[in-house]
């Protein structure tokens, strides 16, 4: 399987840029497309059309369903080009397979390169961390909850946030911008906890776009559009796991969080942001009571969610 990578339009320091897929490449007549540039440009599809099995890894679902018809068609494999598509949204996979009457789509975990995993534990210098943008009150609540601790809030900057939050007080809490990912990982290893929501936040036009699709009601990812949210399998859980940071997840209507990691064993849920500061205080002040959860998540990620594990999964499914 050879790997074709085109990250055009992708964030310049995204996790997937560290996978080094070329390391696993072998010419067996199959081709694996990685990066939206591979599917948004026709040249790649034309060049590899004669390959035996054509595989694509879709990291855009369920985000793609809020886009225009062209993006939706690409994401749903409307032209039937790909023989297998792995997606980080299990609900999209199930929905598309049922709609199309096949088994082209399979759910995928988010891997971490085994070459980047550091086994040695580091002393904890920080209590809490959040990295990302402010796109909703939930994001703001996370930052507001960690700011009274020894924390880091890393972001690309307010210019990348939802417009209603760009001039919010959250700007004052940024500790650093455009931090290289490897530097962020080093800070993660020195940090005790990371709260997260694992949700995608929508605006009314995006909801309307989703509802324009046939049988949209049958996709579980769309079950709470009235609340303007969808589940999103982000990279934070695996990045925290391999860097030994305790994962704190805001409970939500879906089970995506517990699909790859086990609650209470590998991470902790919290129910409301009013309890988050207390949970941060409890876990950071009594770290010895919670470090076993961090160790469990680390062991699970290292054993099951590396790039090699992902390649093995792909090979098994297309064989």
Average pLDDT over residues 10-16: 87
- Whether the pLDDT of residue 47 is over 90: the answer is yes
- pLDDT tens digits, 206-217: 999 999 999 999
The reported pLDDT for the residue numbered 193 is: 98
- Whether the pLDDT of residue 255 is over 90: the answer is no
Average pLDDT over residues 250-270: 96
The reported pLDDT for the residue numbered 261 is: 98
The reported pLDDT for the residue numbered 99 is: 96
- pLDDT tens digits, 265-274: 999 999 999 9
The reported pLDDT for the residue numbered 185 is: 98
CATH placement of domain 115-198+233-303:
3.40.50.2000
Average pLDDT over residues 58-78: 95
The reported pLDDT for the residue numbered 32 is: 97
> What are the boundaries of each domain within the chain?
2-113+305-318, 115-198+233-303
- Whether the pLDDT of residue 9 is over 90: the answer is no
Average pLDDT over residues 192-221: 96
Average pLDDT over residues 184-205: 97
The reported pLDDT for the residue numbered 292 is: 98
- Whether the pLDDT of residue 251 is over 90: the answer is yes
pLDDT level of residue 141 (50, 70, 90 thresholds) = very high
- pLDDT tens digits, 16-29: 999 999 999 999 99
Average pLDDT of every residue of the chain: 96
- Whether the pLDDT of residue 10 is over 90: the answer is no
Show the 3-state SS of the chain.
Answer: CEEEECCCCCCCCCHHHHCCHHHHCCCCCEEEEECHHHHHCHHHHHHCCCCCEEEEEECCCCHHHHCCHHHHHHHCCCCCCCCEEEECCHHHHHHHHHHHCCCCEEECCCCECHHHCCCCCCCCCEEEEEECCCCCHHHHHHHHHHCCCCEEEEECCHHHCCHHHCCCHHHHHCCEECCCHHHHHHHHCCEEEEEECCEEECCHHHHHHHHCCCCHHHCHHHCCHHHCEEECCCCHHHHHHHCCCEEEEECCCCCCHHHHCCECCCEEEECCHHHHHHHHHHHHHCHHHCHHHHHHHHHHHHHHCEHHHHHHHHHHHHC
pTM: 0.96
């Amino acid at each position: 399987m050879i790997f074709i990578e085109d990250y055009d339009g992708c964030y310049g320091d995204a996790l997937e840029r560290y996978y080094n897929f070329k390391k696993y490449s072998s010419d067996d007549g199959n081709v694996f497309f990685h990066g939206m540039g591979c599917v948004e440009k026709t040249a790649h599809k034309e060049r590899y059309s004669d390959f035996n099995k054509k595989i694509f890894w879709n990291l855009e679902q369920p985000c793609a369903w809020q886009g225009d018809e062209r993006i939706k068609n690409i994401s749903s494999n409307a032209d039937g080009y790909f023989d297998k598509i792995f997606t980080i949204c299990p609900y999209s996979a199930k929905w598309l397979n049922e709609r199309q009457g096949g088994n082209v789509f399979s759910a995928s975990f988010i891997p971490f390169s085994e070459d980047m995993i550091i086994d040695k534990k580091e002393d904890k210098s920080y209590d809490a961390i959040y990295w990302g943008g402010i796109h909703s009150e939930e994001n703001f609540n996370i930052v507001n909850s960690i700011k009274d601790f020894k924390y880091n809030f890393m972001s690309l900057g307010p210019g990348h946030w939802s417009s209603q939050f760009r001039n919010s007080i959250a700007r004052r809490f940024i500790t650093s911008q455009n931090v290289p990912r490897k530097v962020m990982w080093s800070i993660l290893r020195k940090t005790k906890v990371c709260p997260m929501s694992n949700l995608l936040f929508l605006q009314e036009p995006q909801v309307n776009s989703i509802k324009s699709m046939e049988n949209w009601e049958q996709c579980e990812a769309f079950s709470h559009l009235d609340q303007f949210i969808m589940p999103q399998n982000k990279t934070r859980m695996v990045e925290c796991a391999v860097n030994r940071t305790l994962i704190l997840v805001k409970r939500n209507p879906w089970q995506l969080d517990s699909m790859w990691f086990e609650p209470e064993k590998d991470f902790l849920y919290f129910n409301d942001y009013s309890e988050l500061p207390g949970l941060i205080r409890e876990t950071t002040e009594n770290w010895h009571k919670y470090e076993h959860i961090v160790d469990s998540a680390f062991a699970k990620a290292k054993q099951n969610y590396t790039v090699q594990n992902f390649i093995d999964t792909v090979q098994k499914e297309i064989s």
